[in-house]
Amino acid sequence: MQAELESFRFWYPWRVRYRDCDMQGIVYFSVYFEYVEQAIMEYFRQIGVPIGKTIHEGSFDWAFAHAEIDYRAPVAFDDLVSIGIRIPKRGRSSFEVHFAVVDAARERVHAHGRLVLVCYDSRSRRSCPLPDFVREKIEAFEGA
């Protein structure tokens, strides 16, 4: 897994909030997906795809089609973690997001997984092609 971490070019820091934790004092399992969703939004913002604007204009949006996660070590209140995001695969109308939630020093993996996102036209409520301008930004950032 350590070698795979080196392939992540985008990292988003996150401080665990009290409300993220369950009665066991650790981050509740579904909250990891909230962290990853926020990191994806920041990823696109960093590469020059302003998600708020593209959703409003109807030029780029997505729906989650698949989600998987493996938990390796718990995270607790006030821990500082870093969420790595990369998009290694782009299809005609979908793209695959790999993610890792690690400690701030990037030495311990807390969770990792994969998402499949489908480009979505909210007007027709159907899938649509991945826009060229988004594909180009991803490929420029990820290195084709």
Supply the CATH number for residue 74's domain.
3.10.129.10
Two tokens at 11? 């990292």
Question: Which pLDDT belongs to residue 122?
Answer: 84
Answer yes or no: is pLDDT of 2 > 90. no
Amino acid at 43: Y
Tally of structural domains, the chain: 1
Q: Is the dihedral of CA 103, 107, 110, 116 positive or negative?
A: positive
11: containing domain? 2-142
**Structural tokens at position 129:** 């092609």
Residue 140 CB neighbour total at 10 angstroms = 11
Reply yes or no on whether the pLDDT at 4 is more than 90.
no
Q: Which residue has the higher pLDDT, 80 or 144?
A: 80
pLDDT of residue 58: 87
